[in-house]
Structure 1
Amino acid sequence: MKHRSSIKDLKKNLRLEALARRDALSTEYRIEASMRIADAGVATLVVDPGTNVSGFWPIRSEVDLRPLLFHMREKGARLCLPVIIDKQTILFRELVRGAPMIATGFGTAGPPEDAAVLDPSFMLVPLAAFDERGHRIGYGAGYYDRAIARLKEIGVNPRLIGVAFDCQQVEIVPDEPHDVPLEAVLTESGLRSFG
Protein backbone atom coordinates (compact mmCIF):
# COMPACT_ATOMS: atom_id res chain seq x y z
CA MET A 1 0.00 0.00 0.00
CA LYS A 2 2.92 2.31 0.74
CA HIS A 3 4.03 2.01 -2.92
CA ARG A 4 0.59 3.14 -4.17
CA SER A 5 0.56 6.25 -1.97
CA SER A 6 4.12 7.21 -2.97
CA ILE A 7 3.14 6.98 -6.68
CA LYS A 8 0.09 9.10 -5.91
CA ASP A 9 2.24 11.71 -4.14
CA LEU A 10 4.79 11.73 -6.97
CA LYS A 11 2.04 12.22 -9.56
CA LYS A 12 0.53 15.00 -7.47
CA ASN A 13 3.87 16.84 -7.30
CA LEU A 14 4.53 16.38 -11.03
CA ARG A 15 0.99 17.63 -11.76
CA LEU A 16 1.40 20.74 -9.59
CA GLU A 17 4.82 21.56 -11.06
CA ALA A 18 3.67 21.10 -14.69
CA LEU A 19 0.51 23.17 -14.11
CA ALA A 20 2.57 25.90 -12.44
CA ARG A 21 4.77 26.06 -15.55
CA ARG A 22 1.66 26.19 -17.75
CA ASP A 23 0.09 28.91 -15.58
CA ALA A 24 3.30 30.95 -15.86
CA LEU A 25 3.01 31.18 -19.67
CA SER A 26 1.88 34.60 -20.82
CA THR A 27 -1.59 34.96 -22.31
CA GLU A 28 0.03 36.02 -25.60
CA TYR A 29 2.20 32.91 -25.65
CA ARG A 30 -0.77 30.62 -24.91
CA ILE A 31 -2.81 32.18 -27.73
CA GLU A 32 0.07 31.89 -30.21
CA ALA A 33 0.92 28.34 -29.09
CA SER A 34 -2.76 27.31 -29.29
CA MET A 35 -2.86 28.53 -32.89
CA ARG A 36 0.31 26.54 -33.68
CA ILE A 37 -1.26 23.48 -32.04
CA ALA A 38 -4.37 23.95 -34.20
CA ASP A 39 -2.23 24.28 -37.35
CA ALA A 40 -0.25 21.15 -36.44
CA GLY A 41 -3.47 19.24 -35.74
CA VAL A 42 -4.98 20.33 -39.07
CA ALA A 43 -1.82 19.18 -40.87
CA THR A 44 -1.40 15.81 -39.14
CA LEU A 45 -4.68 14.50 -37.69
CA VAL A 46 -6.92 12.84 -40.27
CA VAL A 47 -10.43 12.01 -39.13
CA ASP A 48 -13.02 10.35 -41.37
CA PRO A 49 -16.34 12.19 -41.82
CA GLY A 50 -18.88 11.03 -39.25
CA THR A 51 -16.21 10.14 -36.65
CA ASN A 52 -17.18 11.04 -33.08
CA VAL A 53 -14.40 13.33 -31.84
CA SER A 54 -14.22 14.47 -28.22
CA GLY A 55 -12.41 17.65 -27.37
CA PHE A 56 -12.61 20.10 -24.49
CA TRP A 57 -13.41 23.76 -23.92
CA PRO A 58 -10.40 25.51 -22.36
CA ILE A 59 -10.39 26.28 -18.65
CA ARG A 60 -7.76 28.21 -16.72
CA SER A 61 -4.50 28.12 -18.71
CA GLU A 62 -5.33 25.14 -20.97
CA VAL A 63 -4.68 24.97 -24.70
CA ASP A 64 -7.55 26.54 -26.66
CA LEU A 65 -8.65 23.68 -28.92
CA ARG A 66 -11.61 25.48 -30.46
CA PRO A 67 -9.90 26.38 -33.79
CA LEU A 68 -8.89 22.72 -34.31
CA LEU A 69 -12.29 21.40 -33.24
CA PHE A 70 -14.11 23.74 -35.63
CA HIS A 71 -11.81 22.65 -38.48
CA MET A 72 -12.59 19.00 -37.69
CA ARG A 73 -16.31 19.76 -37.72
CA GLU A 74 -15.92 21.41 -41.15
CA LYS A 75 -14.31 18.15 -42.33
CA GLY A 76 -17.35 16.16 -41.14
CA ALA A 77 -16.46 15.08 -37.60
CA ARG A 78 -19.23 14.93 -34.98
CA LEU A 79 -17.86 16.89 -32.03
CA CYS A 80 -18.59 16.17 -28.40
CA LEU A 81 -17.45 17.63 -25.10
CA PRO A 82 -17.11 15.99 -21.68
CA VAL A 83 -19.85 16.65 -19.15
CA ILE A 84 -19.50 15.63 -15.51
CA ILE A 85 -22.50 13.51 -14.51
CA ASP A 86 -21.44 12.59 -10.96
CA LYS A 87 -18.26 12.14 -8.92
CA GLN A 88 -17.29 9.09 -11.01
CA THR A 89 -18.55 9.73 -14.51
CA ILE A 90 -18.19 11.93 -17.54
CA LEU A 91 -20.28 11.50 -20.66
CA PHE A 92 -19.65 13.16 -24.01
CA ARG A 93 -22.48 15.34 -25.34
CA GLU A 94 -22.65 16.43 -28.97
CA LEU A 95 -21.54 19.97 -29.72
CA VAL A 96 -23.93 21.34 -32.32
CA ARG A 97 -23.49 24.70 -34.03
CA GLY A 98 -25.76 27.32 -32.46
CA ALA A 99 -26.72 25.21 -29.41
CA PRO A 100 -26.35 26.91 -26.02
CA MET A 101 -23.43 26.08 -23.73
CA ILE A 102 -24.07 25.42 -20.05
CA ALA A 103 -21.82 25.09 -16.99
CA THR A 104 -20.74 21.44 -16.83
CA GLY A 105 -18.49 21.25 -13.76
CA PHE A 106 -14.88 22.20 -12.93
CA GLY A 107 -15.44 25.67 -14.38
CA THR A 108 -15.95 24.36 -17.89
CA ALA A 109 -18.86 24.63 -20.33
CA GLY A 110 -20.53 22.09 -22.56
CA PRO A 111 -23.68 21.11 -24.39
CA PRO A 112 -27.00 21.03 -22.50
CA GLU A 113 -28.80 17.94 -21.16
CA ASP A 114 -30.90 17.45 -24.28
CA ALA A 115 -27.81 17.09 -26.51
CA ALA A 116 -27.09 13.62 -27.93
CA VAL A 117 -24.62 11.51 -25.96
CA LEU A 118 -21.85 10.19 -28.24
CA ASP A 119 -19.17 7.54 -27.72
CA PRO A 120 -16.00 9.13 -29.10
CA SER A 121 -13.67 6.95 -31.17
CA PHE A 122 -11.14 9.80 -31.41
CA MET A 123 -10.31 11.67 -28.20
CA LEU A 124 -8.34 14.89 -27.78
CA VAL A 125 -7.42 14.46 -24.14
CA PRO A 126 -6.60 17.27 -21.68
CA LEU A 127 -3.73 16.59 -19.32
CA ALA A 128 -1.56 18.13 -16.63
CA ALA A 129 1.71 16.40 -17.60
CA PHE A 130 3.07 13.85 -20.06
CA ASP A 131 6.32 12.01 -20.74
CA GLU A 132 8.11 10.88 -23.89
CA ARG A 133 6.54 7.39 -23.64
CA GLY A 134 3.01 8.75 -23.95
CA HIS A 135 2.01 8.38 -20.32
CA ARG A 136 -0.11 11.21 -18.95
CA ILE A 137 -1.09 12.67 -15.63
CA GLY A 138 -4.61 14.03 -15.61
CA TYR A 139 -6.08 16.46 -13.15
CA GLY A 140 -6.36 13.80 -10.47
CA ALA A 141 -10.03 12.86 -10.51
CA GLY A 142 -9.70 9.90 -12.89
CA TYR A 143 -12.67 10.86 -15.09
CA TYR A 144 -10.89 10.17 -18.38
CA ASP A 145 -9.40 6.86 -17.16
CA ARG A 146 -12.90 5.64 -16.26
CA ALA A 147 -14.45 7.01 -19.47
CA ILE A 148 -11.81 5.26 -21.62
CA ALA A 149 -12.32 2.00 -19.68
CA ARG A 150 -16.10 2.28 -20.20
CA LEU A 151 -15.65 2.88 -23.95
CA LYS A 152 -13.39 -0.19 -24.21
CA GLU A 153 -16.00 -2.27 -22.34
CA ILE A 154 -18.57 -1.45 -25.05
CA GLY A 155 -16.12 -2.22 -27.84
CA VAL A 156 -14.95 1.31 -28.68
CA ASN A 157 -11.15 1.51 -28.65
CA PRO A 158 -10.64 5.26 -29.00
CA ARG A 159 -7.55 6.88 -30.48
CA LEU A 160 -6.06 8.95 -27.65
CA ILE A 161 -4.24 12.16 -28.56
CA GLY A 162 -3.09 14.28 -25.63
CA VAL A 163 -3.07 18.06 -26.00
CA ALA A 164 -0.67 20.22 -24.01
CA PHE A 165 2.02 22.85 -24.13
CA ASP A 166 5.66 21.73 -24.39
CA CYS A 167 6.32 22.98 -20.83
CA GLN A 168 4.03 20.24 -19.47
CA GLN A 169 6.44 17.46 -20.44
CA VAL A 170 8.10 15.73 -17.50
CA GLU A 171 10.97 13.27 -17.47
CA ILE A 172 8.88 10.27 -16.48
CA VAL A 173 5.29 9.70 -15.41
CA PRO A 174 5.10 6.84 -12.91
CA ASP A 175 2.66 4.49 -14.62
CA GLU A 176 0.36 1.95 -13.06
CA PRO A 177 -1.31 -1.15 -14.56
CA HIS A 178 -4.61 0.66 -15.26
CA ASP A 179 -2.93 3.55 -17.12
CA VAL A 180 -3.58 3.67 -20.87
CA PRO A 181 -0.77 5.41 -22.80
CA LEU A 182 -1.56 8.02 -25.42
CA GLU A 183 -1.02 7.36 -29.12
CA ALA A 184 0.46 10.85 -29.50
CA VAL A 185 0.68 14.30 -27.92
CA LEU A 186 -0.07 17.49 -29.82
CA THR A 187 1.94 20.52 -28.64
CA GLU A 188 3.10 23.79 -30.16
CA SER A 189 6.12 21.83 -31.49
CA GLY A 190 3.83 19.54 -33.47
CA LEU A 191 2.47 16.02 -33.17
CA ARG A 192 4.69 13.55 -31.28
CA SER A 193 3.70 9.93 -31.84
CA PHE A 194 4.60 7.17 -29.39
CA GLY A 195 5.42 3.56 -30.18
Structure 2
Amino acid sequence: MTTILDTPATPSPQKAALRAQALARRDALEIDDRLEWDPEIAARVLALPVWKDAAGPVSAYWPMRSEADPRPILEELHRRGLPLGLPAIVARRMIFRRWAPYEPIVPGGFGTLVPAPEQPEVSPRILIVPLAAFDRRGYRIGYGKGYYDRALSELGPTISIGIAYAAQEIDAVPQEPHDRPLDWIVTERETIRCG
Protein backbone atom coordinates (compact mmCIF):
# COMPACT_ATOMS: atom_id res chain seq x y z
CA MET A 1 0.00 0.00 0.00
CA THR A 2 1.36 3.44 -0.95
CA THR A 3 1.13 6.26 1.59
CA ILE A 4 1.53 9.95 1.08
CA LEU A 5 5.04 9.63 2.49
CA ASP A 6 6.00 7.00 -0.10
CA THR A 7 5.38 9.30 -3.02
CA PRO A 8 7.20 12.51 -3.96
CA ALA A 9 5.50 15.62 -2.66
CA THR A 10 3.43 17.51 -5.20
CA PRO A 11 4.60 21.11 -5.14
CA SER A 12 2.03 23.49 -3.65
CA PRO A 13 1.62 26.71 -5.68
CA GLN A 14 1.14 28.70 -2.46
CA LYS A 15 4.28 27.19 -0.92
CA ALA A 16 6.17 27.77 -4.17
CA ALA A 17 5.35 31.49 -4.04
CA LEU A 18 6.31 31.75 -0.35
CA ARG A 19 9.51 29.78 -1.03
CA ALA A 20 10.48 32.11 -3.87
CA GLN A 21 9.88 35.20 -1.73
CA ALA A 22 11.82 33.83 1.26
CA LEU A 23 14.74 32.68 -0.90
CA ALA A 24 14.86 36.09 -2.57
CA ARG A 25 15.09 37.72 0.87
CA ARG A 26 17.81 35.26 1.91
CA ASP A 27 19.77 35.74 -1.30
CA ALA A 28 19.60 39.53 -0.84
CA LEU A 29 21.34 39.35 2.54
CA GLU A 30 24.87 40.72 2.48
CA ILE A 31 27.49 37.99 2.52
CA ASP A 32 29.40 39.87 5.25
CA ASP A 33 26.28 39.75 7.43
CA ARG A 34 25.80 36.04 6.79
CA LEU A 35 29.44 35.34 7.66
CA GLU A 36 28.90 37.19 10.93
CA TRP A 37 25.59 35.48 11.67
CA ASP A 38 26.65 31.88 10.99
CA PRO A 39 28.85 31.69 14.13
CA GLU A 40 26.00 33.28 16.13
CA ILE A 41 23.60 30.60 14.86
CA ALA A 42 26.19 27.92 15.67
CA ALA A 43 26.62 29.22 19.22
CA ARG A 44 22.84 29.20 19.76
CA VAL A 45 22.51 25.66 18.40
CA LEU A 46 25.38 24.40 20.54
CA ALA A 47 23.74 25.97 23.61
CA LEU A 48 20.52 23.95 23.17
CA PRO A 49 19.70 21.50 25.98
CA VAL A 50 19.53 18.62 23.47
CA TRP A 51 23.30 18.08 23.69
CA LYS A 52 23.32 17.30 27.43
CA ASP A 53 22.93 13.54 26.98
CA ALA A 54 23.25 13.29 23.20
CA ALA A 55 25.04 10.24 21.87
CA GLY A 56 24.38 10.83 18.16
CA PRO A 57 24.54 10.31 15.36
CA VAL A 58 23.88 13.90 14.35
CA SER A 59 23.24 14.84 10.75
CA ALA A 60 23.31 18.27 9.17
CA TYR A 61 23.81 19.28 5.54
CA TRP A 62 26.50 20.74 3.34
CA PRO A 63 25.41 24.35 2.65
CA MET A 64 24.61 25.51 -0.85
CA ARG A 65 23.86 28.93 -2.24
CA SER A 66 22.99 31.32 0.60
CA GLU A 67 21.97 28.75 3.22
CA ALA A 68 22.96 29.17 6.85
CA ASP A 69 26.20 27.24 7.30
CA PRO A 70 26.06 24.32 9.80
CA ARG A 71 29.73 23.33 9.37
CA PRO A 72 30.93 25.14 12.54
CA ILE A 73 28.29 23.17 14.48
CA LEU A 74 29.46 19.89 12.97
CA GLU A 75 33.11 20.67 13.69
CA GLU A 76 32.35 21.35 17.36
CA LEU A 77 30.17 18.24 17.70
CA HIS A 78 32.96 16.18 16.13
CA ARG A 79 35.40 17.68 18.64
CA ARG A 80 33.00 16.57 21.39
CA GLY A 81 33.11 13.02 20.02
CA LEU A 82 29.61 12.78 18.53
CA PRO A 83 29.28 10.66 15.36
CA LEU A 84 28.12 12.66 12.34
CA GLY A 85 26.37 12.15 9.04
CA LEU A 86 25.26 14.07 5.98
CA PRO A 87 22.20 13.38 3.82
CA ALA A 88 22.26 11.91 0.33
CA ILE A 89 19.41 11.20 -2.07
CA VAL A 90 19.44 7.59 -3.25
CA ALA A 91 16.62 6.15 -5.34
CA ARG A 92 14.41 9.19 -4.58
CA ARG A 93 14.86 8.69 -0.85
CA MET A 94 16.96 10.61 1.67
CA ILE A 95 19.50 8.49 3.50
CA PHE A 96 22.31 9.58 5.81
CA ARG A 97 25.94 8.52 5.44
CA ARG A 98 28.70 8.71 7.99
CA TRP A 99 30.93 11.75 7.63
CA ALA A 100 33.49 13.66 9.68
CA PRO A 101 35.07 17.07 9.05
CA TYR A 102 37.71 17.06 6.31
CA GLU A 103 36.60 13.71 4.91
CA PRO A 104 35.91 13.66 1.16
CA ILE A 105 32.57 14.78 -0.21
CA VAL A 106 31.26 14.26 -3.73
CA PRO A 107 28.53 15.84 -5.89
CA GLY A 108 25.16 14.42 -4.91
CA GLY A 109 22.66 16.00 -7.27
CA PHE A 110 20.46 19.07 -6.78
CA GLY A 111 23.68 21.09 -6.26
CA THR A 112 24.53 19.22 -3.05
CA LEU A 113 27.74 17.68 -1.78
CA VAL A 114 27.47 14.36 0.06
CA PRO A 115 29.73 11.71 1.64
CA ALA A 116 31.28 9.19 -0.71
CA PRO A 117 28.95 6.27 -1.62
CA GLU A 118 31.14 3.75 0.20
CA GLN A 119 30.48 5.45 3.55
CA PRO A 120 28.08 3.46 5.76
CA GLU A 121 24.55 4.62 6.42
CA VAL A 122 23.72 6.07 9.83
CA SER A 123 20.40 6.72 11.51
CA PRO A 124 20.56 10.20 13.05
CA ARG A 125 18.95 10.90 16.40
CA ILE A 126 19.41 14.67 15.96
CA LEU A 127 18.86 16.29 12.60
CA ILE A 128 19.91 19.83 11.65
CA VAL A 129 17.90 20.83 8.61
CA PRO A 130 17.99 23.65 6.07
CA LEU A 131 14.89 25.58 5.13
CA ALA A 132 13.68 28.18 2.71
CA ALA A 133 11.02 29.61 5.04
CA PHE A 134 9.65 28.86 8.51
CA ASP A 135 6.97 29.85 10.97
CA ARG A 136 6.98 29.86 14.78
CA ARG A 137 4.99 26.64 15.01
CA GLY A 138 8.00 24.80 13.57
CA TYR A 139 6.69 24.28 10.07
CA ARG A 140 9.15 24.79 7.27
CA ILE A 141 9.17 25.19 3.55
CA GLY A 142 12.06 23.36 1.98
CA TYR A 143 12.87 23.02 -1.70
CA GLY A 144 9.63 21.28 -2.58
CA LYS A 145 10.51 17.58 -2.80
CA GLY A 146 9.46 16.53 0.72
CA TYR A 147 12.67 14.59 1.43
CA TYR A 148 13.14 15.87 4.97
CA ASP A 149 9.48 15.33 5.90
CA ARG A 150 9.70 11.72 4.72
CA ALA A 151 13.04 11.20 6.47
CA LEU A 152 11.67 12.55 9.75
CA SER A 153 8.75 10.13 9.49
CA GLU A 154 11.00 7.17 8.71
CA LEU A 155 13.64 7.86 11.36
CA GLY A 156 11.30 7.59 14.30
CA PRO A 157 12.10 9.60 17.46
CA THR A 158 14.41 12.32 16.23
CA ILE A 159 15.14 15.82 17.48
CA SER A 160 14.91 18.23 14.55
CA ILE A 161 16.59 21.64 14.50
CA GLY A 162 16.06 24.06 11.63
CA ILE A 163 18.63 26.78 11.09
CA ALA A 164 17.97 29.89 9.06
CA TYR A 165 18.27 33.65 9.00
CA ALA A 166 15.55 35.71 10.63
CA ALA A 167 14.64 37.18 7.22
CA GLN A 168 13.26 33.77 6.22
CA GLU A 169 10.43 33.82 8.78
CA ILE A 170 6.87 34.02 7.47
CA ASP A 171 3.56 34.31 9.34
CA ALA A 172 2.33 30.80 8.60
CA VAL A 173 3.48 27.90 6.45
CA PRO A 174 0.51 26.30 4.67
CA GLN A 175 0.25 22.83 6.21
CA GLU A 176 -0.07 19.65 4.20
CA PRO A 177 -0.61 16.09 5.51
CA HIS A 178 3.04 15.10 4.97
CA ASP A 179 4.52 18.11 6.81
CA ARG A 180 6.47 17.37 9.98
CA PRO A 181 7.10 20.29 12.36
CA LEU A 182 10.58 20.93 13.70
CA ASP A 183 11.39 20.85 17.41
CA TRP A 184 13.60 23.94 17.31
CA ILE A 185 14.37 26.79 14.91
CA VAL A 186 17.51 28.83 15.44
CA THR A 187 18.34 32.12 13.74
CA GLU A 188 20.99 34.76 14.35
CA ARG A 189 18.47 36.59 16.54
CA GLU A 190 16.78 33.92 18.62
CA THR A 191 16.13 30.32 19.55
CA ILE A 192 12.53 29.22 19.02
CA ARG A 193 11.19 26.16 20.85
CA CYS A 194 8.41 24.88 18.61
CA GLY A 195 5.40 22.75 19.39
Same fold per superposition (TM over 0.5): yes
What residue number does 1:166 align with?
A: 166
- 1:66: Cα distance to partner? 0.5
Matches within 5 A, 1:7-86: 8-47=12-51, 48=53, 50-86=55-91
Distance in 2 separating the partners of 1:164 and 1:93: 23
Residue pair 1:49, 1:75 contacting (<8 A) in 2 also: no
The answer to whether 1:106 aligns with 2:102 is no
- 1:49: Cα distance to partner? 5.2
Distance in 1 separating the partners of 2:149 and 2:161: 14
- 1:97: Cα distance to partner? 4.2
* 3-state SS, counterpart of residue 47 of structure 2: helix
Paired-residue identity, %: 43
Report how many residues are paired: 184
What residue number does 1:4 align with?
A: none
Distance in 2 separating the partners of 1:105 and 1:45: 34
What residue number does 2:4 align with?
A: none
Residue pair 1:184, 1:192 contacting (<8 A) in 2 also: yes
* 3-state SS, counterpart of residue 65 of structure 2: coil
Q: Which amino acid aligns with 1:194?
A: C
- Sort the Cα spacing of 1:45 and 1:188 in 2 relative to 1 into closer, same or farther, 3 A: farther
Residue pair 2:133, 2:141 contacting (<8 A) in 1 also: yes
Q: Which amino acid aligns with 2:46?
A: V
**Which 4+ stretches in 1 moved above 4 angstroms?**
none
* 3-state SS, counterpart of residue 176 of structure 2: coil
* Comparing 104-113 and 60-69, the one that deviates more: 104-113
Distance in 1 separating the partners of 2:49 and 2:81: 13
* 3-state SS, counterpart of residue 90 of structure 1: strand
Residue pair 2:78, 2:100 contacting (<8 A) in 1 also: no
- Cα deviation, 1:25-70, whole Å, max 9, x if unaligned, reads 0110111111110111122254235311110111000011111111
The answer to whether 1:95 aligns with 2:111 is no
The answer to whether 1:149 aligns with 2:159 is no
Q: Which amino acid aligns with 2:13?
A: D
The answer to whether 1:126 aligns with 2:130 is yes
Kindly report the root-mean-square deviation, in angstroms, between the aligned alpha carbons of the 2 structures.
1.5
Runs of 5+ unmatched residues, structure 2: 1-10
* Comparing 143-152 and 117-126, the one that deviates more: 143-152
Q: Which amino acid aligns with 2:152?
A: I
